[in-house]
């Protein structure tokens, strides 16, 4: 068992890779009664072209299988449903699928070990039949239709779709109706057996229980089960060019206000820092210039060019970092014009830097005052870095004004995509 001391914080994450390859991370919060456990597989909606386990040829699977599996694992062959079982134990459970991961979790106050054991057991007990697969298709189709009815979801996906040329960010995680129809029991078992092997999975636990006892409990659970040893799944890396797929698009949907999103695509290899530090500096730079307390944001609101604060997002997508600026306002041409002008004339002010740095450090420390936010941090760190790192907090503390000024003062922000969403009644 390895200790990962979170530098700068009075926190230790205990880590062990079990004999079957499962990564287990445990953080103890002694005075907290609430617990949270995340069981994660490195398999999401973007992964659909690979060599299945025990086969030699690559196979293309329908989109939506990762999400379909998330649904089907809630159905057990015997006994009460997963939801009923957790309810009887006092646990609150759910699951979610994104482009790269599928995650199952349980949270609660009572019966920690019983809840943890059932979380692991039900995810590792697939039960697919032709009948229950067909039955699920109708439910998932309804979910896909509901997603299409959400204009803000459509807006978000369209922004991603227009940014990436080869990477399939922006496609439906659920899959198209045709994809859903084509999924078979055999597809599900092939994908499950390939990606739900413990060597491709991770368990993260935050509780008030002894770390060594928790890890030994998981070890004993896994020792009762047989898993084939697997090599790393063969998935071809998709080469993504620096240019965007589409620079500008207007869409119409059932919204009351016009919204514009300006998204900038930046390759990480253009920066000298690691990915996390690059993202921190970019967030500081854009909050400084476009955030709610920036002079630029306040000026646009006073002049009634925008109806609310500009929302700044900085997100990692494989080898790229995307900076998005979202604004509400009717004169989208004016909004785009002033944002482009500002991008060509960014200010880097030391007082603003120090204020934002203090706020970021304060927010980081605050993460560790609640179990759910601790888990959000640990899970995000694992997803972004492939492991839980020891020095994340120190990267915040060591942020330097001179580094920001020297490295980020002359970035080319011209590689961007703009999506405008207008109310349906404005469509000509």
| Site of tokens 């990480």 | 268
Measured at the CA of 377, the angle between CA 371 and CA 378, to 5 degrees, comes to: 90
Q: Could you tell me which residues are beta bridge partners of residue 6?
A: 11
Pair 41, 100: CB distance under 8 Å: no
Active-site position among 70, 107, 389, 407? 70
Rounded CA-CA distance 424/413 in Å is 31
Rounded CA-CA distance 224/337 in Å is 63
C-alpha 364: how far from its chain's center? 18
C-alpha 268: how far from its chain's center? 18
Q: Could you tell me which residues are beta bridge partners of residue 92?
A: 107
Rounded CA-CA distance 91/109 in Å is 7
Give Cα separations from 61 to 72, 77, 138, 183 (angstroms).
Answer: 17, 25, 19, 8
57 is catalytic: no
Which of 248, 254, 170 is closest to 420 using CA atoms? 248
C-alpha 378: how far from its chain's center? 12
Measured in degrees and rounded to the nearest 5, phi and psi for residue 193 equal: -65, -25
Pair 244, 320: CB distance under 8 Å: no
Q: Could you tell me which residues are beta bridge partners of residue 38?
A: 105, 204
Which of 184, 225, 227, 173 is closest to 72 using CA atoms? 184
Rounded CA-CA distance 289/282 in Å is 11
Could you tell me which residues come within 8 angstroms of residue 50 by beta carbon, excluding any fewer than 6 positions away?
58, 59, 194, 233, 234, 235
Q: Could you tell me which residues are beta bridge partners of residue 333?
A: none
Measured in degrees and rounded to the nearest 5, phi and psi for residue 11 equal: -140, 145
For the chain, give percent helix, strand, coil, nearest 5.
45, 20, 35
Q: Could you tell me which residues are beta bridge partners of residue 49?
A: 60
Where in the sequence numbering do the catalytic residues fall? 70
């Amino acid at each position: 068992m390895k200790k990962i001391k979170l530098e700068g914080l009075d926190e230790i994450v205990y880590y062990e890779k079990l004999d079957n390859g499962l990564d287990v991370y445990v953080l103890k919060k002694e005075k907290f009664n609430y617990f949270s456990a995340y069981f994660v597989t490195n398999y999401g909606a973007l992964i659909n072209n690979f060599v299945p386990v025990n086969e030699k040829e690559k196979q293309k699977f329908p989109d939506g299988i990762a999400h379909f599996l998330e649904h089907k694992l809630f159905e057990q062959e015997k006994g009460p449903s997963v939801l009923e079982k957790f309810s009887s134990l006092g646990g609150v459970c759910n699951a979610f699928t994104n482009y790269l991961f599928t995650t199952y979790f349980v949270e609660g106050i009572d019966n920690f070990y019983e809840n943890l054991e059932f979380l692991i057991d039900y995810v590792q007990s697939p039960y697919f039949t032709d009948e229950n697969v067909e039955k699920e298709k109708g439910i998932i189709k309804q979910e896909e239709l509901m997603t299409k009815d959400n204009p803000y979801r459509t807006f978000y996906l369209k922004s991603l779709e227009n940014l990436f040329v080869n990477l399939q960010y922006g496609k439906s995680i659920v899959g198209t109706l045709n994809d859903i129809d084509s999924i078979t029991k055999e597809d599900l078992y092939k994908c499950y057996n390939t990606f739900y092997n413990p060597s491709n999975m991770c368990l993260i636990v935050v509780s008030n229980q002894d770390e060594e006892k928790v890890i030994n409990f998981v070890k004993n659970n896994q020792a009762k089960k047989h898993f084939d040893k697997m090599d790393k799944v063969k998935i071809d890396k998709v080469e993504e060019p620096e240019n965007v797929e589409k620079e500008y698009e207007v869409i119409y949907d059932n919204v009351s206000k016009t919204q514009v999103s300006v998204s900038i695509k930046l390759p990480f290899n253009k920066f000298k820092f690691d990915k996390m530090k690059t993202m921190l500096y970019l967030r500081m730079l854009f909050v400084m210039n476009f955030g709610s307390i920036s002079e630029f944001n306040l000026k646009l609101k006073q002049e009634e060019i925008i109806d609310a604060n500009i929302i700044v997002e900085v997100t990692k997508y494989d080898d790229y970092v995307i900076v998005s600026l979202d604004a509400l306002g009717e004169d989208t041409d004016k909004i785009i014009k002033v944002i482009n002008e500002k991008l060509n004339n960014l200010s880097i002010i030391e007082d603003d830097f120090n204020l934002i740095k203090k706020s970021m450090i304060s927010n980081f420390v605050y993460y560790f005052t609640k179990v759910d936010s601790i888990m959000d941090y640990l899970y995000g760190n694992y997803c972004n870095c492939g492991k839980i790192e020891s020095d994340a907090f120190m990267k915040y503390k060591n942020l330097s004004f001179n580094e920001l000024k020297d490295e980020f003062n002359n970035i080319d922000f011209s590689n961007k995509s703009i999506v405008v969403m207008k109310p349906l009644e404005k469509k000509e």
